[in-house]
């Protein structure tokens, strides 16, 4: 798959297959964590460090601001920067939701959240919270990733060899990148979903849902 194929592909198609791949990996990892791993296994892992920092907030407003700053400012910026690089035409940003699908599934499956305990919720409520927070947030990231594929100005031929004959080739300039109206719309929707999910996440942490 080359870069031109990625940019010509509908942004909505990119969102659907990327989110579908995330869900498949996340659900599989959840079942592995639930049935085969001890509860709380990842609660003190580096993957939950940001959650532990946010959970130490002393007020609702501060926790919401920190959640938004981490989710949108740190991770949101990360996925955009990843898309600047393509490997054999594949945006490296695509690796983010795939990796996060595995990690988030394991965290959920082992009940390793820093600020909440899944045993407090029944299956009905838990499903609604999961879909309206974690899944909504991930859909936001996927929208941002899918909408910024055109940022790929560096092309690599290998995922692990980056120097010498394998070094990146610059194929365009950032100032020459142009998004179509559908990509801009999906980008705005993605940012909105991340913000809304951050608000819902803060409400849950403070027992307001």
Tell me the domain boundaries of the chain.
Answer: 3-205
Instruction: Name the β-bridge partners of 156.
Output: 87
pLDDT of 184? 97
The predicted-structure confidence for 112-155, as pLDDT tens digits, reads as follows: 887 677 888 888 888 898 899 999 999 999 999 999 999 999 99
In contact, 201 and 131? CB cutoff 8 Å: no
Half-sphere exposure of 21 (CA within 13 A, CB side): 13
Q: Which two tokens stand for residue 25?
A: 């990996």
pLDDT of 183? 96
Residue 17: what are its φ and ψ, rounded to 5°? -75, -35
Mean predicted lDDT score pLDDT of the chain? 89
pLDDT of 2? 47
Q: Which two tokens stand for residue 103?
A: 């990690």
Q: Which two tokens stand for residue 71?
A: 């989710």
Q: Over range 9-24, report the average pLDDT.
A: 95
> Dihedral sign, CA of 30, 36, 37, 39?
positive
The predicted-structure confidence for 70-103, as pLDDT tens digits, reads as follows: 988 888 888 888 999 999 889 999 999 999 999 9
């Amino acid at each position: 798959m080359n870069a031109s194929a990625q940019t010509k592909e509908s942004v909505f198609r990119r969102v659907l297959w990327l989110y579908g791949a995330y869900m498949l990996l996340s659900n599989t990892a959840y079942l592995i964590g639930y049935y085969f791993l001890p509860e709380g296994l990842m609660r003190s892992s580096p993957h939950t460090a940001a959650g532990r920092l946010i959970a130490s907030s002393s007020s609702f407003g501060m926790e919401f601001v920190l959640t938004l700053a981490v989710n949108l400012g740190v991770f949101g910026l990360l996925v955009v920067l990843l898309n600047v690089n393509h490997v054999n035409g594949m945006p490296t940003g695509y690796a983010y939701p795939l990796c996060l699908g595995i990690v988030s599934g394991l965290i959920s499956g082992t009940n390793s959240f820093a600020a909440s305990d899944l045993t407090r919720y029944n299956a009905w409520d838990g499903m609604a919270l999961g879909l309206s927070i974690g899944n909504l947030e991930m859909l936001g990231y996927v929208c941002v990733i899918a909408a910024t594929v055109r940022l790929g100005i560096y092309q690599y031929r290998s995922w692990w060899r980056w120097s010498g004959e394998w070094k990146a080739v610059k194929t365009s300039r950032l100032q020459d990148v142009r998004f179509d109206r559908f990509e801009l719309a999906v980008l705005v929707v993605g940012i909105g979903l991340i913000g809304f999910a951050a608000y819902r996440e803060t409400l849950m942490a403070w027992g307001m849902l």
